[in-house]
Structure 1
Amino acid sequence: MFGLKLHSTYAIFSKKFTMSKITLLIAFICLFVIVQAQSDRGICRRIVDRCESRVARNGRNNDISNIFNENCRRTHRNWREISRCELAKANCILTLERCETLSCENVRRALA
């Protein structure tokens, strides 16, 4: 009888310990996601700041932004011309934060 009582107490303790491990794991994953999202925003902010600080030297547009704008103008009648730095910002947001492709519509939403 004493052995049965000890076994059931161990089973209850084991179940509680397992639940607390699962809760701790979920909390750790949530914390990791929050920290990662903040660092991704910081990376994008630094990329844009560096790009904007070099506009006088490198120019507002380059071949890539010009081609992207031409392509988007063909498919979207009211496309607003975006700069090289805006395209870099949208690219960073879409790839690091949202995991989306670099399409005209996604760029428009990322810059909105």
Structure 2
Amino acid sequence: MSKVLIFLAFFCLCLMLIQAQPNENRRICEKLTRDCVACQRRRGPDDDVTNIFNANCRRNNRRWKNITRCELDRATCELTLISCRAVTCENVRRILD
């Protein structure tokens, strides 16, 4: 009986950790975005990575609207930490919309 109770308690703890993980990841992404926006005036709204990403997306979709470095950072964070998806033009646009 005690082994079953220990197993059940362990299982419940694991479920609680899994449920808490997305909230923590979301907070990480929000902090990253706030820090990026705070430094945007000094560092500028884009960089080489953002320019290449925008150019690549524009080649595939003529109606692509350029995104900033901070928007790309936010989308990348949410795609990798929260939804575990690839960083593609379509996925980035879905996150930002």
* TM-score relative to the length of structure 2: 0.89
The CA distance in 2 between the partners of 1:25 and 1:37, in whole Å, is 20
| Counterpart in the other structure of 2:39 | 54
| Counterpart in the other structure of 1:77 | 62
**Secondary structure in 2 matching 1:101:** coil
Name the larger-Rg structure. 1
The CA distance in 2 between the partners of 1:27 and 1:81, in whole Å, is 45
Residue 31 of structure 1 aligns to which amino acid in structure 2?
Answer: M
Structure 1's unaligned 5+ residue stretches are 1-13
Identical-pair percentage: 37
Equivalenced residues, count = 97
Residue 12 of structure 2 aligns to which amino acid in structure 1?
Answer: A
- Per-residue deviation, residues 38-61 of structure 1 (Å, max 9, x unmatched): 111111011100100111100011
Decide which of 34, 43, 48 is 2:19's aligned counterpart: 34
For the pair 1:86 / 2:71, whether they are aligned, the reply is: yes
Q: Highest relative contact order (Cα 8 Å, sep 6+), 1 or 2?
A: 2
**Structure 1 segments of 4 or more deviating over 4 A?**
none
- Per-residue deviation, residues 20-74 of structure 1 (Å, max 9, x unmatched): 4443333212210122111111110111001001111000111110100000011
